[in-house]
Amino acid sequence: MKEKILIVDDDDNIRQVLNYVLSAASYAVIEASDGLQALELVKRENPHLLILDIGMPELEGTDVCRQIRQTSQVPIIMLSARDDEFDRVLGLELGADDYIPKPFSNRELVARTKALLRRTNLTHDTAPQEGAIFHGHLKLNADTHQTWWGAEEIELTATEFEMLHTMLKHPGHVFSRDALINSSYRHQVIVCDRTVDSHLRRIRQKFKAANGYPIETVHGVGYKINDCTSHLTP
């Protein structure tokens, strides 16, 4: 079955071009011309990935991203005609997985789409994964892109999953922000320390709801996975 991609852009020409190149790459494509329509289609169509423009009337892409992240971890690539660092950082902080400024290369957009879908294990051409990793109360399965704390499943975005997976493969090793950026953003996306901290803060908040505490801060150095044998302490 083809992966389904939702294109959200108020520019008819952009949607037409994206529909053509993604359909040629064997994806099933659906379209939304505004943010409200996008939210409806996410609920009804359950797409595998969103390509979401930031600058739209009525409901901007950042607001769409914020609302989607309240209920879904679907991969999101954000587009913007403004090559503005604030837009880029805000989009990534809200939970977007990638950011592409306009104008963009069609080939690059398709490549990033394929890469992001591979990271979330939704394409059929993924390389063999490492399977389940157990570490105290923490369990992560790269084959199914699932994470648990004890018996409770924790839903993570593709970027959050990559960061946690990177640290869990080397428990006890302290990772700098740069190392986490390199593991989570495979293309040359400019990401600041504040964005990395935002991703880690969201991971911690999700585990906190399950009384979990998997990530430890090593002040002045970076982050690491702790022994994951203890529940969250005040």
Is the whole model's pTM more than 0.75, yes or no? no
Q: Is residue 234 part of a domain?
A: no
Q: Which of these three, 119, 140, 155, is where a domain ends?
A: 119
Instruction: For residue range 142-168, list pLDDT tens digits in order.
Output: 888 889 998 899 999 888 888 899 899
Instruction: For residue range 179-199, list pLDDT tens digits in order.
Output: 887 777 655 454 556 677 888
Q: Which residue shows structure tokens 């040359």? A: 188
Q: Is residue 50 part of a domain?
A: yes
Q: Is residue 48 part of a domain?
A: yes
Give the count of domains, the chain: 2
- 3-state secondary structure (DSSP) of residue 184: helix
Q: Quick one: tokens of 177?
A: 């922000």
Of 10-14, 35-39, 210-214, least confident by mean pLDDT is 210-214
CA dist 131 and 150 (Å) reads 17
Residues 141, 215 share a domain: yes
CB atoms within 10 A of CB 84: 12
By the 8 A CB rule, do 77 and 112 touch?
Answer: yes
Residues 148, 84 share a domain: no
Q: Is residue 42 part of a domain?
A: yes
What phi, psi does 209 have (nearest 5°)? Answer: -65, -25
- Residue 209 belongs to what domain range? 132-225
Q: What is the CATH number of the domain that holds 186?
A: 1.10.10.10
Q: Quick one: tokens of 30?
A: 């659906």
